[in-house]
Structure formats: C-alpha cells, structure tokens
Amino acid sequence: MSKLLSANFMRLKRDKIFYISLIMVFLCSLLIIIEGSSSFSEMDANGLEHSLDDFFFEIIPYMGAIYAVFICMFLGTEYSDGTIRNKIVTGHTRRDIFLANYFCCLSACLMITAGWLLGSVPGIFLIGMFQMSAGKLLACFGVVVGSAMVYTAIFTGLGMLSTNKAVTVVLALVLWTGLVLCGSGIIDRLNCPETLGGMAFIDGEFVKIPDDPNPLYLSGTLRTACEYIRDSLPSAQAILLNNNDVDNPLRQILLSLLVNGVFIAGGVGIYKRKDLK
C-alpha cells in the first residue's frame, strides 16, 4: 500500500489537471468574494444587513463537478498508460490498488477544497466576520469534508470500473448533475409549507384566504426518510451550505462517513471481480 500511495502522489505532483483545478477553484472563490464585497458596499449604503455567510459557501455546490473531472481524468490515465496492469503483475492486490487511488484522490480533492478556503478567507477583511458561531462554522467545514469524501468514493469507483477516460468523465458529470437535481428536488419538497393560504386582492380590497392543507407537504415517516436522504447526499449538503440552512451538521457528517464506507466497500467488491482487458 505504501508503495502504491508513493507512486500515486508522485504522479499527482506532475498532474496538470490537478493544478488547473486547484487554481481555478482559488480564483473563482476569490472572484466571488470580491464581487460580494462590492455588492455589500451598496447594501451598506442602503442600510441592509449582510455578512460573510452569504457568499462564503457559494462555490461549494459546484465542487462535485470539479472532483468528478479531476478524479476520472487522473484514474483514466492509469488505464490508458497500462499502469493498472503493471501494478497487478507486480503483486499488488486489487483492494490495495483501489484504496491507494481513493486516498490519493481524496487528498487531492481536499487540497482543491483548501484552494476554495484560501480564496474565500480575504472576505474576512473585505466583508467582515461571520454571523454564525465558531462552532457551527467548524461543523460546516466538517460537512464540506464529508461531502468531498463521498464524492471521492463515488467517482473513484466509477473511474476504476470504466476504462475509457472520455466516457468516464462524461458519465461522472451526468451522475453529478443527477445528484444535484435529486438533492435540490428533495430540498424543495421538504421546504413546501404545510398549508396554503394568504391574502388575495379581490374587488378592490385584500381578502384573507383560509389556510388549506398543502398536498405536496411531506409528513410522518416519509418526511423523516426524505430528511435522511437529503442529509446523506453530498449534492444536497452543498446546496444547504450555500443557503445557510445546515440545521443538523453532525447528522450530515455521520451519514457522509456511512455512505463513504458503503461506496468504498462496494467499489472494492466490484473491482475485485472486474475483467481487466
């Protein structure tokens, strides 16, 4: 395992996609903060409240796409160069190969995530401090790391099972898009109000409409199940972070660890049976 990790990290040091991803995330995060600070200047002039919370996590929902492209490009090179076959011939087990690739890709994704953090830190000086407490901020960072772990497990499995680099990247982006749509859909349903009502303008005056049950409102066991699905999806976690709507970060972190373990175990099991041509 140590030799595999060493070889992977040596290749990572020379990987152009990794450095492009890192620089791109840093610059995008910095640009978001700079644009946010200029808009906050207008809000200050109008007496509106604002904080760094509103912009700090704005890029997080898109990090999954960056992870997908990097991981699939990085792992796809092993198939195109014949590195995978050489590793097996020299006596390395498929389990060790899979895990070494996972830990290397996870380290790279966390470094890319650190690029987001470095690009966003200037917001403290340009915009001001966070409104959320230090404890919740640390918990949100934990959710970001957990989300990165799950994405890494998913795309490592896909990259190890698909031998065509271009096809793998496309499949990974389609999968990421599906996860985002699924996560946003579940969040929208959970945010539906329990009742429908309000005010209506009728015959020249405002009239209160009686509250009626909302047929789209989820309740009971179904609502609880959807909440757990939402908190286990890395895409939904990212959307909640961007919306400053993380109300149970500990549950999200624990679910990320569980989902991460399931995907790693499943990926290793399937990869052991894969026919390497």
Mean pLDDT of 5-34: 91
Q: Which residue has the tokens 């996860």?
A: 179
pLDDT in tens, 204-253: 566 566 666 777 788 889 999 999 999 999 999 999 999 888 889 999 99
What's residue 202's pLDDT?
A: 60
Min mean pLDDT across 5-14, 16-25, 169-178 is at 5-14
Q: Which tokens is 69 given?
A: 């492209």
Q: Name residue 206's beta-bridge partners.
A: 201
Q: What is the pLDDT of residue 44?
A: 59
Burial class (CB in 10 A: 0-12, 13-18, 19+), 76: buried
Task: Name the pLDDT band for 183 (thresholds 50, 70, 90).
Answer: very high
pLDDT at 7: 83
CA dist., res. 241 & res. 277, Å (int): 42
CA gap 88, 96 in Å, rounded: 10
pLDDT at 82: 67
pLDDT for 27: 95
What whole-number distance in Å separates Cα of residue 136 and Cα of residue 145? Answer: 14
Q: Under DSSP, is residue 64 helix (H, G, I), strand (E, B) or coil?
A: helix
Mean predicted lDDT score pLDDT of the chain: 86
Side-chain half-sphere CA neighbours of 63 within 13 A: 36
How many angstroms separate the CA atoms of 119 and 28, rounded?
8
Tokens read off for 109: 């994704």
* Residue 61 or residue 133, greater confidence: 61
pTM for this prediction: 0.90
What pLDDT is recorded for position 77? Answer: 79
> Domain map of the chain by residue range?
2-273
Q: Give the tens place of pLDDT for each residue, 37-81.
A: 777 666 555 555 667 887 889 999 999 999 999 999 999 877 766
pLDDT of residue 209: 65
